[in-house]
Structure 1
Amino acid sequence: MVEAPKYKPEKVIPWTVDEAQRFWEVAKDHRLAAAWCLALFYGPRRGEILGLRWQDVNLVDGEIQLIQQLQTVGGKLIVVSLKTDASERPLPVLGVLREMLAKMSDERSRQPPSEHDLVFTTVKGTPIDPRNFADRMFKRLCKLAGVRVIKFHHTRHTAASMLQLLGVHPKVAQAILGHSSVTTTQQYYTHVYTEQVTSALQLVEKKLQETKTAPADEPRRLVDMSDGSGSRQVSRQSQILNRLADKFTVVKPLRLELRTPCLKDLSTDGVSHRMTEVDKVLQDARRRWSIGVVAVNLAVKDAGGGEVGLAA
């Protein structure tokens, strides 16, 4: 009978491009600049960064392999495998990262050997505590850069969102981030920046305000069947004209096709010419009708009857 509370995922607001740039301006001079480069440019997990070994770095071919991670278990730092097969992934070494790793490789001989052949260690050569790396070191750099202090894991969201902003295909972003499903990349890690929303709405605004050419008027009836008083008195001439108008169908701009075969000879004339021909036919019909009315009245008078009134 108890209604279970709805799960609300943590709201993540990744860094903007400007914030990421400001952070990098400070972080690139840090002792662990290559680690911050990985975090900001590639978006790996903190354990994947701290678990990177020299034997997994190939500067000749320009590639690194992420195959293990450093974690704290029971108060001890241990190296474990990554949680999924998709997490084990090769990544190309960018130019800026290559320079930093090459410099670290040269200085490696002057430092105490690492217990696990780790790339990123303390000054004593011991593994770096992930919490110390993600909390104390990272937050200190955020304050020095004057940017919002976010969780270190949210740099992963920042990398995913920037890939989306730059038009990178979701499957490529999935491979970079090491997600087992592209749905995870799109639904949980990719965020839309305010600038993208503004740009999208500006496209809609521009489209809806384009000058649109008014469409050609639809074929109208030749005779209006209502008068000013709203009555519906229709003359025989009006009926004839409207029936003739209904015989025309617009098939192409400025071209009409007649449905009635007997009027086919009018199909090649212009619209105004055809209206003139129709008017001539109607005038002839009215003359014949008038003569008929006179003839009937004369015949009735001769027969001794009264004059017959026929409605026009």
Structure 2
Amino acid sequence: MPLEEQHPTAGCPGLFIDQALYSESALLCLYGWSPSPARSIARLTLISPDVQLELADRLHRLPRPDLLNAFPALQGDEFGLFAVLAVTPKQMQGASLCLETRHGEISTFVIKPRLVEWIESTQLIRAMGSPVLSNLPRLVAQLHTQYSFEVAQRLARLAAEWMETHHAALPLAISEPAHYGFFALDRAWALGDGGLLMMGWRFNPHRLGVQIHMHTLSGQSLNLTDRLFSVPRSDVAEAYRSQFPDIPEETGWMSHARLPTVPGDVRLIELRPAEGSSRWLRVPDTRNPLTGSALVREILGWVPQPQRMRRR
């Protein structure tokens, strides 16, 4: 059964797809919304006779302010959704989206994407911004297994273009204790083949399950969540103790990311919560006139009480 050239907005109770674009016989872009908050969705699956893809960790939730006038009850949560998937034409034949809520409700509808040129897919991806970066390494790997090497290269170039264009406008710190906690980058040193050394501070008063990922222009990604070493930062603890009496002194952190980095390389940090959209930060400028022993002395000068360092 051939894929249909056109389709209206499709959906079922709990899930609506405004745009489904399929390009290069390889890439499926889904953009829509769900009145069900992310926390109430148990599973979202793309099912066809040839494949079953779990979309829960590939789906990005985002605000949809355009819906608020028609659905004022949606205010205050991220009900929009966006996904970029590597899907072959065979896998697309008869494909359906199946939504299962934590209350046991199941809804299914056939997905009929519109066949488009690459440029239309890129326009949607650009409009969405950073979400495609989160899954880029896995997405590129999947495209390679499908022998869609050119599409993988195009997607990687698109992501690199977004990083180069937007990184300078990204913040160095975020203060959203209810959703992401506090996280800040103070300094970074490019060590060439030795990787990247970063220092900053963080505090997660509500013990949120936020993962920390670093991304490069080449599409590499490194999970830093368990690679942050705690160091004392009494200045941070004192500044926030009136608001959070239980804040520990060891709110500082340092991390060695073992991805080759030369001064001036663009690196982004993604704070990825268990639910909702990610927040993005830029790594401080790594260009530094110091080298050799002078650079080592500068780095050591930034380490407070190194004998008390420990991994958190």
Normalised-by-shorter TM-score class: under 0.3
* Structure holding more strand per residue: 2
TM-score by length of 2: 0.22
Tell which structure's C-alpha radius of gyration is larger: 1
